[in-house]
Structure formats: C-alpha cells, structure tokens
C-alpha cells in the first residue's frame, strides 16, 4: 500500500479527480486530495486558468506545500496538469518521496532544483497530440526527465485531449485512461 498526495487540475477538485482517487483507494492505497481552490470548480479550462492567474502560480504551489504538513515523508506525489506543479516540486525537494505520477504535464526539473532526486521513480502520462502538453514544451521537459533519470517513464497515448484521465470532463478517454490506470497500478505495487 502506498500513501499518495493527489493534486487536482485547473478546473478544481472535480468529480473525475475524486473518482480517480477513489479508484486508488479501492486498490488499497491511502489517498489525500487537497482542494487547492477551497471549493471552487470551473466548467472549462479557460475559466480555471483565469482564476489561477488571479491567485498566482506561486500561491498554488504554496498551498500544495501546506497540504503535505502532517503527512509522513514517504509519499507518492501525483498531479493532474496544474497539480503537477506542487507534486513535482514536493517529489524533487521533500526528502523521502516514494515516487511521482505526473498526468498531462511536466515542467523542467530545473524549476525546482538542479536534478531529479536519485531513487525517486517517476511516470509522466499524456496524449501525444495534446496541444498543451506538446505546444507548451511539457513533452520536452518529460523527455529530458526520462533521459536523465534512472527510474523514469514517459507514456504517450493516442489522441489530442489534455485532461483525458478525468472522467467528469468532455476530454475523458476511457480506453487511454484504462491503460493509464493499469500502468499506475504497476508503479504503485512496489511503493
């Protein structure tokens, strides 16, 4: 069993993120889903991004760091898109991380340190033609992370949807999500 801290995306803590966390719980894991937006959810990505621009990306990351207070150090950090920011930062900077699961996004390792910590496995999952993942450079950051890290994998799925693993959104892709869940299950089995 792993203890997991799962951060939501720019549309907030949607029913699809909660469902994903419940699936992890059903597999025997202890999952925390902090609400970085204090109850706000958004019908579309653009509205969520406007909210984040007002709030500030730094504040989102700080809220993620506060969410880990009181938790053990031996945690797997996971994030959907925007949630990758606090997940990746904590995986890189908080001692004892058991792993990182980065869904729909990846930032350059240099954002949070000189290198990825040794012994911390990581998986990155995204669609191969996602205009955000590909167009904003996340794919390049993910490839660099995989190349420089011993226990790292980048999984690209057919399609062009950004938040394809959130079952409550129109971008949801059941087939790709099923494969993602199978890979996550294997990753967590040894954590």
pLDDT in tens, 4-45: 999 999 999 999 999 999 999 999 999 999 999 999 999 999
Number of Cβ within a 10 Å radius of residue 128: 13
How confident is the model at residue 113, as a pLDDT? Answer: 85
pLDDT in tens, 161-185: 999 999 999 999 999 999 999 999 9
pLDDT in tens, 118-141: 999 999 999 999 999 999 999 999
Judged against a pLDDT cut of 90, whether residue 114 lies above it is answered with no
Q: Are strands 99-103 and 122-127 parallel, antiparallel or unpaired?
A: parallel
Judged against a pLDDT cut of 90, whether residue 73 lies above it is answered with yes
List Cβ<8 Å contacts ≥24 apart for 48-56: 48/9, 48/10, 48/11, 48/12, 48/82, 49/10, 51/10, 52/10, 52/82
Identify the CATH homologous superfamily for domain 3-189. Answer: Alpha/Beta hydrolase fold, catalytic domain (3.40.50.1820)
- Domain ranges in the chain are 3-189
Sign of the alpha-carbon torsion through 114, 118, 120, 122: positive
Judged against a pLDDT cut of 90, whether residue 191 lies above it is answered with no
Task: Provide the edge-to-edge strand list for the sheet that holds 30-32.
Answer: 30-32, 3-7, 76-80, 99-103, 122-127, 152-157
Whole-angstrom CA distances from 181 to 18, 62, 166 are 14, 28, 12
Judged against a pLDDT cut of 90, whether residue 145 lies above it is answered with yes
CA 82/CA 60 separation, integer angstroms: 9
């Amino acid at each position: 069993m792993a203890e997991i801290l799962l951060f939501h995306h720019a549309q907030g803590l949607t029913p699809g993120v909660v469902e994903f966390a419940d699936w992890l719980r059903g597999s025997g894991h202890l999952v925390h889903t902090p609400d970085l937006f204090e109850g706000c959810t958004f019908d579309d990505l653009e509205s969520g991004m406007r909210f984040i621009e007002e709030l500030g990306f730094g504040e989102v990351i700080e809220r993620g760091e506060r969410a880990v207070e009181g938790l053990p150090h031996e945690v797997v950090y996971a994030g959907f898109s925007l949630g990758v920011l606090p997940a990746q930062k904590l995986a890189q900077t908080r001692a004892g991380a058991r792993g990182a699961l980065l869904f729909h996004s990846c930032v350059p390792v240099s954002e949070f340190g000189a290198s990825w910590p040794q012994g911390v496995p990581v998986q990155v999952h995204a669609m191969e033609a996602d205009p955000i993942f590909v167009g904003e450079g996340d794919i390049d950051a993910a490839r660099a992370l995989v190349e420089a890290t011993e226990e790292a994998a980048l999984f690209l799925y057919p399609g062009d949807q950004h938040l394809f693993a959130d079952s409550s959104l129109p971008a949801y892709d059941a087939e790709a999500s099923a494969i993602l869940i199978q890979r996550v299950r294997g990753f967590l089995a040894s954590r």
